[in-house]
Structure 1
Amino acid sequence: MTDQHTGTPSLPKTARRYRKLVGSLLFLPVFAAIAGYWLLYSVSGLQSTVAAVNRWGGGTVQLTGVHGTLQDLRVESILFKNEALELTLHDLRLNWSPTQLLHRRISINRLALESIRINQHTTETAPTAPQPPDSLLLPFGLSIAAVTVGSIHFNAAIQENAEPVISDLMLALDSDGTHHRLTQLNFTTPWATVESQAELAGNAPFDLSARIGIAAGAWGDIDTTVTGNLMQLTIQSVGQPSAANMTLQAQLQPFAENPLTQLHAILEQWNPADFLADAPQAKLSVSAQLMQDQAGQLAGHINIENHASAPLDQNGVPLSAIHTRVRISPELLMLPDVQVQSGKDGVVRGQLAWNRDKHVLTANLAVERLDPQQLYSRLQTAAISGKIELIGGTEKQSAHIDLRDRSLRLTADIARTMEQIMLERFNLQRNRSRLAGQGKLQLTGDQSFELSGELINFNSADFIQAVDSDLNATLQLSGQRLPAVAGTLKYIIQKSRLAKAPVSGLGEIAFTDAGHLNGKAELSAGSNRLFAQGRLDGERHDVQLTVNAPALVQLGLGVSGDLQTQLVFRGTMKTPDLDWKLDSKRLELPGKQQFSGISASARWHRDDTIALNVAVDTYRAHEHATINQLIATLDGKTDQHRLTVNAGINRDIAVRLMASGGLSGAKSERPLRWQGQLTELSATGDMPVRLLAPAALAASASSFLLNDAGFSISDGSVRIEQLQWAPDSLKTRGDFTGIGLLPDIPARAKKTPLQLGGRWHLDAAAQLTGELHIQRERGDWYLPGDVPQPLGLQQLLLQATAQQGKLSGQLILDSEALGSARADVTVPLQQTKSQWSIAKESPLQGNIHATIASLKWLNAFGDNLHADGELQIQAGIQGTVQQPDISGTVSGVNLHLALMEQGIRLQQGTLAAHFQQADLHIDRLYFASPYTSPPDSRLFGDLALQDTAGSLVVSGKVGLAGNPSHLDFSIDRLSLAHGTDYWIVSSGNGTVRFQQNRLSIAGDLRADAGLIMQPPEGGRPSLPDDVVLVNTPSPQRSQKLALDLDMNFNLGEKFHIRASGLEGRLAGQLQIRNDNNQQLKLTGAIAAQDTTFKAYGQNLTVKRGIVSFQGPLDDPNLNVLAVREGLAVEAGVEISGSVRHPQVRLVSTPEVSEVEKLSWIVLGRKPDTGGLDTSVLLSAAGSILGGQSGGGITDRITQALGVDEISFKQASAGSSLTGQIGVVGKRISSRAYLTYERGLTTSTIGIAKLNYNLTPRITIVTQAGEDSAVDLFYTVQFD
């Protein structure tokens, strides 16, 4: 019992101990939760964490400007720095979900960075080969919804304002710890925009798949896929860089010593100039087939073909092909069989090897028939063969060159040791010309150098395309490179000749790399002299230069005229003493640039006075005066002076400029810089310009700055807010309003001209960004003409934007006369040297939508043209600038086209067409042509054309970018011509082709009906041939159009003529072609059918009327027979020969004398035995045999009155009428002829006669009036 009492009190004490332990265990998670919440969601927790990081980082990591909480964090700057890398993160913003840690997952909602700057430091530690990872498994899941980085700069410490290498980066990632998915990685570089996705397994061998899309501007779009695993990757790329095609397949082993194990690449039609700013032009096809062999070397072939080789001076690549075998290892690059082709026959073949470890290049090359002119076009042609050898090891190398052709030889030997480089021998010789030299450069000590050369009977024309010369000179150069470059140049020229001018000279000049010079130089060439002496150094200058060149043409350098100048400069830039003068009566430079009356002088003295006077009478470019009477003056002090410029441009523009300011930096080490004000600027002309107020202006050799300048231009104003130029950048912005275009035309119409307004801003550096906005403010555009026609513009907007390496343009047009149009286009930009441009191979993307409500506006471009109709255009633009790919449709309704002078009227037209690539395919263009009556419808009584309209149908394609055009046309009863004296309706078909400035037209046409009548006399007024107009503008030369013509024209059965005495029908067929000299040639014949010929008041029946063509259009062969029928003697005219050389003779059946033939033709009877018909017959002979047309005043009167004869003659013996009588006659039929005869000087009633031919020999003549009678005549002909 005692033990029980003793143990009872210990139980509560143990329970309390357990309760404390349980309480402590329960408090720990609560404490952890509180601490975690404090760290993640409180500002003080974040600050404590940052303080710990900065303290424990030991300067490697520094965080500044920390705000927010650890869960929603903002850090202004994070710096990480070690020996190899300096990484700076700017403006980091992080938002994530800590509660996801409970699910073993890190979830980042947003991670944003303004910029990342990476600076790498060089280290002497050799890079170690990468090792494959053991595992890429994560102990937790990871989700990154969005990571954005504004810009990433590499090595930014070297250049503070360096352009970003990567910008606009966006990343999204998701991983369950085993499989990692990169759902988005997009970014932009100066060269391309990249979009990519990838998946990676966490277990070995780490399977990987990725897709990368690259939009690389001129390179086009490149799609790349990556498959395999981290031990073995396969890469496939397909791209279309502009006009080129690219495919690439590669296999990589990323952790091997030689990672690249296989490469197959093909690149077609590649132009380096489209991708590199300073690269030459070429059209290359490149193929590479490389594979790793058993020795671990990459071996295969590389072939390069240049389809557009050109010399270097023409910005081309002078090589046509390169073929080589390749072996690549970590230590050695070998080309064991290289072959380079230049031109047609030039070849360089041999071996090349580069040892990377020893830095040794060895070569053994053979040159065969190499033409230097293929390399540089100004070099003389030759066929050079020989060898080039480079041999040696790490301690000694040597090069030997031996090249020659029949008259030219180049030999050189160069040796390099550890101590020096020696030019042991250099000899260039052709014919008698020789250049020899030798020299050496020490590689130790002060690195002294020596070079000596000699010209012996050297004719530069033996080597380059230049004037003949005979130069004999010696040259010596010596000096040292350390501690600074310094040396002396000596030369002597004697017994020499340039062109036909004797040449001599000597000089000795000491120089340093700091620009210090001291010495004297003299040179004489013909009557031209140059003398210079003095010194230039940092303390004091003393320079004299005199040029007296009265005959520059003696130099044979493409320069002519005269030039005299003197320059004296003493003192320093701080205390200058300069006098300069230049004069030239006439100076002609290459490129047909001519100056006349040049006079210039300048002075800059120690008292800071400065003056400049320049005067030029005229400046002509390509024989056209561009500047007339330029006068520029500057006077004042160095820091305060005034500039005035007056000039006439193109005879109708006067320019005046005034500015005041001063030079800074003249008395310091800073570069010279002019700073002041532009006080006046004005220009007359079609668009006058005037400065509204003085503007600040600054300029130097490397900068130009103009700010806040306002101008009045063409009744409007322009404000330049900023214009800042530097060699590698341009910045400008401003706006304009009320700019009138061609205000003189609307002034005549008393209307408001089109006035434009807008704004611009441009920033061109490593990236081009900017905008140009132009819009209509008021007024209208007027088409040219005697009465200017307005377009009825309601809206006109043109906008261009440049950003992210692309230029986008937009056009909006609304017009009462034109309709409406919307167009937009985007094209990549390319930086070439110091400017931005659009390459021909740049890809295009755009759209065009246009509704043209009326085509009447076309009428303003020709008095003879009348057009109307509606067009609808919808098109998309792709392809490249050089080869655009256009898709879309064009439709037209109610189309009308008329050529007023020709009488051609096309109506009720419709058009259905579509775009395909760079062609407009016309599915069907249809016009109806209404029937038009001929000028004389009596000849076409049975013609059935008026019931239906004619038609024109066209189909084919029209090249829009220099592509070939091909059109097929067919016409049906189409009125081809309709005037007061001609009318042709025709049917047929043909083709029209146009390619490379050559137009080809072929077809077969047949006249449904036609009429040619005598054209009215007089026509349009013209000046006599002996009148010559002066001071008329010469026509502008246009590119010659070559024409190929092959047309067949059949006159059909209803082609009539009523001209030059002919009346009847024509038939036949002609083939119209042209020769190489663009002269028309005709083949075929035209025959007269049922035709009469009126000659001297008589109708002759055309028995045979053939005009045959076998060559020139204006000289066909003639075979014509026209006789007067129904008489006892059928007499007529026969014409043979050609139009230029006709042979005319009189014929008759039966044969009679020439006089009687003429009498039967003219009078219808024998000649009067008393000679009363002599004058009439002589006149008729002159008309018929002299080549007159017979279309005199009497013919026109008879035609107007409807009779066939009006004549005057002497009364015959025995007639009741006496003296001169008048005769009016009318042929009733082919046998009957009615006449009325009356005396001109008497009051008798006259006589009416009816002649009726019963047979060719028997004629009945009845007469009534003054003397009535009936007579019967029988004609007997005696030979």
Structure 2
Amino acid sequence: MSLLHTFKRLLKLTLIGLLCLSLIITPQMVWAANVLMMTSLKEFETDLGNATLKVEGIDSNMRLAVTPKGELTVSQFRAKQITLRFKPTTEVTPTPPAAKTPLPAHINIPLPFHLLSGQIDRLTIIQGTSTTEITQIQFDLDADNQALQFRIAQALSPWGKVSTQFQMQNAAPFALNGWLDVQQAHTELPYHLRTELRGDLTRLEIAANHHYQPQARPFAIVPAQTEAEDMLQINASIGLDDTRQSHLLVHLRQLQAKHIHPQLAGHMDLKIVADGSLTEQGQLLATIDAGDSRLQGQPLIVRGNATLQGAQLTQMELLAQLDKNKLTIQAGKNPSTAEITTLSWQAELANLAQLMPGFAGQVKGTGTVQQSTSGFATTYQLSGQQLQLPQGLTLAGFEAEGQATNQSQGSLKNQVKLRGLSQQNARGIDSPPIDAEFNLTGTLAKHHLALTINDSDPLLQRNLLLALDGSWQADTWQAQLTQLQDAKGKFFQLAQPANLQWQNEQGFQLQNLVVNALSGQLQLDQLRYRPARTANAITQQPAEKVQFSTQGALKAFPLQALMTWLVPEHSEALPADHLRVSAQWKLALDEQLNGTLHLERASGDWQTYDTSEARWQGLGINTLFAEMQAQNNRISVQSSIRADSTIDLQFSGNTVVTPTANGIVIQRSAPISAQLKANIAQLGWLAKLMPDMQPAGQLSIDAQASGIIAQPQLQGSLQGQSLALQVPSQGLWLEQGNLHATLAGDQVNIDQLHFAGKTGELNGNGQLVFKADRWQLDAAMQLTKLQALSRVDRWVQLSGNTNISMTSEQTTLSGKLKIHKGLFELPKADKPKLDDDVVIESPQATQAEPTSKLVFNNFALDFGDKPLILPFKESEQFMLRGQGLNGALSGNMQLNGGLDELTAAGTLEITGTYIAYGQSLNIETGRLIFSGKLPNIGLDVLATRQVESTKVGIQINGSLQTPQLKLVATPDTSNENKVSLLVLGQPMSQVGSSDMALLSVAAGALLSQGDSVSLQTKIAQAVGLDSIDVRGSGPTNYAVSVGKRINRNLVVGYEKSIVGLLNVGKLTYQLTKRISIETRTGSDNALDVFYGFSFD
């Protein structure tokens, strides 16, 4: 939006500048310049027809000289003030066409002259209610009876630094050429504009080509010498006669959509053409077209036209469409009165995701806007559903309708309803959805606002009622807050009406707000906020930073009860002795931050819920204290927390804040002085805050920091004794821990870290370094037969050395671990899932951004040697168990890369058994070959069983993505015999008719590897057939049949018995829905007619 706003400003600047030049560069002005040079006038005023020019404060100390050639040289000229005022139409005397005089043949200049240095302190251009100031104008001028040359070396305008130069022939029609240059580096979108000027005093031609480069500096918009993307082209032909008939072309060519939003793809090709008169009452016709613009892979359609009478819009039609999203706008004069223009719009946004990344859902609406001399009035009706919004917000639906006006006594009637508003946090958890209703009724002079918020789930019972009565007069809005409470006023309620006020100059103010909450109280004596102001070059008003001040107090305020009410986590009621705090504050931020804040525990304790015991427990806090003082941006903080005999924490610190335009920041170069002393005698209380963990032990901290924020100088120590950490749900078990760390300079040195597991131990050391722009932790750990995980279904004992390098962006693991023994039970068979190329889009499920990336760097795993003696002791191996597998894992592998691009190298072997169809197969070979990116895993697997004198089994080769499976037997035998021996434990010759169907299904399932599509269907699709089937009830009629459909009625088939002599071709033709004819040839020749019917 800032880009479009800047283009609008630049276009306005170009038009205003050209119009000013068209009035200034006239024979009258040249004559006036002669008069000023040749006389000693202090002031001068002249009528230019549709404008007046007044020059004031002319410096009388002009140094004049005449050259030997008879030329007048003025070395210096200065005027304090020049005012150019455009006349309203009512003041311009119309000139009859017959009375209009043409341009003179030439400008009579009595004596050629040269102005070497001219200066105008201020040029004021008044056009209606708009006033523009241009200052510090430095110029020079050369004029004779042949030509005039004018150059502005510098002028400071609201749009930046201006310079220009042009030459004009001193003969009708006074041909001229030159350029205009504008540079503005101190703005959100810095630009450098250059416009070429051509023409004469009857018509001025301008041309400008610019390139948009948003990342470049000092200018994001610069003059373009060649054609490229992101071009802004302006061409204009402006008439300088009384009618000012003009032509204007603005072409935004190949603007990349990513400049509008980083996630938008495509380009825009927008062309605006305007023709007509630029006079105050002239008619201007404009068209707009988006050409071949494309957004998000779809064509963007923008077509429209408009008619303006002076500055008044009299007619407009606009269509904008992208895929299923459509917006139409129509405007025109009201037939009953020409003073009212009515604009109607209609929006059908069926796919918001196509319009803007981060949004999804559907919105539709209609509305009108009526503009008249007395103001505007609008009506609207909007609705939407299944909306996804930025910042993780989702909205099930909304409806909005109403009417508004800027007239004091005009009717206001607005209603907005929100359903199912929720927000997803960084962990991907949605907050409980809420419903809301907003109503605004009355008039601007006297209106009533009501807001109701409640939970979509009635069991949560969170709700909020807010109401106020307000009045808008001139630039001031005043109101009284009359209601602020939960639905029944049981938790909190407004004690008395509070005063609110908004003024354009003073900002927002809130006074005397008192809220009673569960026998406690919030008292806000005053709160004032005035937004930051940017510098105004026209009024010479400098930029001003935000202003904020507040004063108030808390009295026994139920802090935890309020947080529990806002974010309920448990259905059980909070105990009566929950934490209450008292506070007093007085803060003011302007050019500097000053004030005080004092907070302390009033009563109660912070309560945590123990799910295992289904009850609330207190942390034992008996002292909670914090105090902050700010004086001229220097902040000092002191705080203290004590909890029975378990916690004693003291903190103090000092730093300096820097006010910004919109608030305050702590610069990286800010000085810091801090001290932390903590003695935590029992870490077990942390389990109340983190119920999934069970920490224990003692921890003491004595630390000081000095220097600057970016690179603090540390001093002190960190000691831990009898440390333990258990996570029962994950089987993590560490105890007998010790920690010793020292703080020195910009480092924290971990001298010793020790833990013991169920068996073995862990020892480590490391270093945490704070650099200018980042922090980094480098640690080394030695594991000695450590049994860290200890669960019934998974445990592991390992040894080795591991290195960890961690920053805020990435965690890198390297080293080598040897797995001595352990157990990992495979989960039950996975549920079916979609392939990776299938994506389900849902506004309810957005992935949380990972905060840190895990990367492996030559990380080696050694699972030991393959057991040579069978049967082996499972308790001495690393076992994989589950889904029919019971085997020992051995071999080596090495990991590299991130989790999304993980590569592996090495070979693992599985030794053991595999149960399939009730039969136990011995895994003779079970090699998994890793080479390259996962899951690119090679397979070399052979699992067999002994049936009498025959060893039969399954051999799997290929890769995990495309395994190649075949049946093997020693000595070799037929495929049907292999299936029978493997599944039924007997040769095919001994299979009874009752087992044939089971054998067929088992073979298909075995070879299909559990896929939802059978092996027969896969084979048929691979060779271009429609069906392959194996069927029969006994050895003599067990057959394979294939089929191919020629068209919707004709099927060609072939059937061949596996054991017998059946060998036939078939042709089936469907005559009607129920009647079909089948012909058979081969070992069985026949013609059959079938009639089919079904029972519902």
The interval holding the TM-score normalised by the smaller chain is 0.5 to 0.7
Which amino acid counterpart does residue 645 of structure 1 have in structure 2? Answer: A
For 1:268-314, what per-residue CA distance to the aligned partner results, in whole angstroms no more than 9, with x for missing partners?
Answer: xxxxxxxxxxxxxxxxxxxxxxxxxxxxxxxxxxxxxxxxxxxxxxx
Offset at residue 964 of structure 1 (A)? 3.0
In structure 2, the residue matched to 1:709 is 513
Q: Give the TM-score taking structure 1 as reference length.
A: 0.47
In structure 2, the residue matched to 1:629 is 437
**324, 327, 345: which one aligns with 1:549:** 345
**419, 427, 436: which one aligns with 2:207:** 427
In structure 2, the residue matched to 1:1039 is 850
Which amino acid counterpart does residue 451 of structure 2 have in structure 1? Answer: N
**798, 808, 813: which one aligns with 2:636:** 808
User: Which whole-Å CA distance do the structure 2 matches of 1:426 and 1:695 have between them?
Assistant: 59
Gaps of 5+ in 2: 1-58, 60-116, 118-136, 141-149, 168-175, 183-191, 211-226, 258-266, 291-300, 320-327, 425-432, 532-545, 835-839, 866-875, 1010-1096
**645, 665, 685: which one aligns with 2:450:** 645
Relative to structure 2, which stretch is displaced further, 865-874 or 967-976?
865-874
Q: Does 1:582 align with 2:401?
A: no
In structure 2, the residue matched to 1:600 is 402
In structure 1, the residue matched to 2:682 is 854
User: Which whole-Å CA distance do the structure 2 matches of 1:390 and 1:436 have between them?
Assistant: 19
Q: Does 1:680 align with 2:478?
A: no
SS class of match (2:436): strand
User: Which whole-Å CA distance do the structure 1 matches of 2:495 and 2:880 have between them?
Assistant: 72
In structure 1, the residue matched to 2:130 is none
CA contact (8 A) 2:440 2:447 kept: no
Offset at residue 1130 of structure 1 (A)? 8.1
Change (3 A) 1:1082 1:713: farther
CA contact (8 A) 1:1100 1:1132 kept: no
User: Which whole-Å CA distance do the structure 2 matches of 1:497 and 1:1031 have between them?
Assistant: 34
Change (3 A) 1:1052 1:754: same
Offset at residue 433 of structure 1 (A)? 5.6
Change (3 A) 1:634 1:844: farther
In structure 2, the residue matched to 1:993 is 805
In structure 2, the residue matched to 1:719 is 523
Matches within 5 A, 1:1105-1184: 1106-1110=927-931, 1112=934, 1115-1120=937-942, 1131=951, 1133=953, 1135-1137=955-957, 1141=963, 1143=965, 1145=967, 1147-1148=969-970
**611, 615, 640: which one aligns with 2:415:** 615
SS class of match (2:762): strand
**903, 908, 912: which one aligns with 1:1085:** 908
CA contact (8 A) 2:930 2:936 kept: no
CA contact (8 A) 1:437 1:452 kept: no
Offset at residue 1004 of structure 1 (A)? 0.8
Which amino acid counterpart does residue 583 of structure 1 have in structure 2? Answer: Y
Which amino acid counterpart does residue 693 of structure 2 have in structure 1? Answer: L
Change (3 A) 1:818 1:362: farther
User: Which whole-Å CA distance do the structure 1 matches of 2:880 and 2:529 have between them?
Assistant: 76
Change (3 A) 1:1094 1:804: closer
In structure 1, the residue matched to 2:817 is 1005
SS class of match (1:550): strand
Matches within 5 A, 1:359-378: none
SS class of match (2:900): coil
User: Which whole-Å CA distance do the structure 2 matches of 1:1124 and 1:504 have between them?
Assistant: 90
Offset at residue 791 of structure 1 (A)? 1.8
SS class of match (1:750): coil
Which amino acid counterpart does residue 633 of structure 1 have in structure 2? Answer: T
For 1:702-724, what per-residue CA distance to the aligned partner results, in whole angstroms no more than 9, with x for missing partners?
Answer: 33443332112465311122234
For 1:507-532, what per-residue CA distance to the aligned partner results, in whole angstroms no more than 9, with x for missing partners?
Answer: 225xxxxxxxxx77554435524458
CA contact (8 A) 1:734 1:760 kept: yes
In structure 2, the residue matched to 1:695 is 498
CA contact (8 A) 1:627 1:648 kept: yes
Change (3 A) 1:612 1:402: closer
Identical aligned residues as a percent? 18
Offset at residue 913 of structure 1 (A)? 1.9
Matches within 5 A, 1:1038-1117: 1038-1039=849-850, 1041-1045=852-856, 1046-1052=858-864, 1054-1055=876-877, 1057=879, 1059=881, 1067-1074=890-897, 1077-1079=900-902, 1081-1086=904-909, 1088=911, 1106-1110=927-931, 1112=934, 1115-1117=937-939
CA contact (8 A) 1:714 1:740 kept: no
User: Which whole-Å CA distance do the structure 1 matches of 2:918 and 2:366 have between them?
Assistant: 80
For 1:94-148, what per-residue CA distance to the aligned partner results, in whole angstroms no more than 9, with x for missing partners?
Answer: xxxxxxxxxxxxxxxxxxxxxxxxxxxxxx9xxxxxxxxxxxxxxxxxxxxxxxx
Change (3 A) 1:1142 1:694: same
SS class of match (1:1077): helix
In structure 2, the residue matched to 1:528 is 329
Relative to structure 2, which stretch is displaced further, 625-634 or 753-762?
625-634
Gaps of 5+ in 1: 1-123, 125-331, 333-352, 365-374, 377-386, 416-420, 441-448, 479-487, 510-518, 535-541, 572-577, 932-948, 1190-1279
Which amino acid counterpart does residue 251 of structure 2 have in structure 1? Answer: N
For 1:167-199, what per-residue CA distance to the aligned partner results, in whole angstroms no more than 9, with x for missing partners?
Answer: xxxxxxxxxxxxxxxxxxxxxxxxxxxxxxxxx
Matches within 5 A, 1:689-1088: 689-703=492-506, 704-713=508-517, 716-726=520-530, 729-737=547-555, 738-741=557-560, 742-743=563-564, 748=573, 750-786=575-611, 787=614, 788-816=616-644, 819-833=647-661, 835-860=663-688, 865-881=693-709, 884-915=712-743, 920-931=748-759, 949-957=760-768, 962-995=774-807, 997-1007=809-819, 1009-1012=820-823, 1034=845, 1037-1039=848-850, 1041-1045=852-856, 1046-1052=858-864, 1054-1055=876-877, 1057=879, 1059=881, 1067-1074=890-897, 1077-1079=900-902, 1081-1086=904-909, 1088=911
CA contact (8 A) 2:967 2:978 kept: no
SS class of match (2:310): strand
User: Which whole-Å CA distance do the structure 2 matches of 1:691 and 1:1074 have between them?
Assistant: 59
Q: Does 1:460 align with 2:252?
A: yes
Change (3 A) 1:841 1:565: farther
Structure 1 or 2, whichever has the larger Rg, is 1
Change (3 A) 1:489 1:866: farther
Which amino acid counterpart does residue 460 of structure 1 have in structure 2? Answer: L
For 1:695-750, what per-residue CA distance to the aligned partner results, in whole angstroms no more than 9, with x for missing partners?
Answer: 34444333344333211246531112223445564332111122332345595353
CA contact (8 A) 2:248 2:273 kept: yes
User: Which whole-Å CA distance do the structure 1 matches of 2:888 and 2:367 have between them?
Assistant: 81
In structure 2, the residue matched to 1:1252 is none
Change (3 A) 1:1173 1:724: closer
User: Which whole-Å CA distance do the structure 2 matches of 1:886 and 1:489 have between them?
Assistant: 74
For 1:313-371, what per-residue CA distance to the aligned partner results, in whole angstroms no more than 9, with x for missing partners?
Answer: xxxxxxxxxxxxxxxxxxx9xxxxxxxxxxxxxxxxxxxx9999xxx99979xxxxxxx
SS class of match (1:1038): coil
CA contact (8 A) 1:1057 1:1064 kept: yes
User: Which whole-Å CA distance do the structure 1 matches of 2:730 and 2:880 have between them?
Assistant: 19
Change (3 A) 1:489 1:914: farther
Q: Give the TM-score taking structure 2 as reference length.
A: 0.54
User: Which whole-Å CA distance do the structure 1 matches of 2:950 and 2:994 have between them?
Assistant: 20
CA contact (8 A) 1:743 1:753 kept: no
Matched residues, number: 726
User: Which whole-Å CA distance do the structure 2 matches of 1:997 and 1:752 have between them?
Assistant: 42
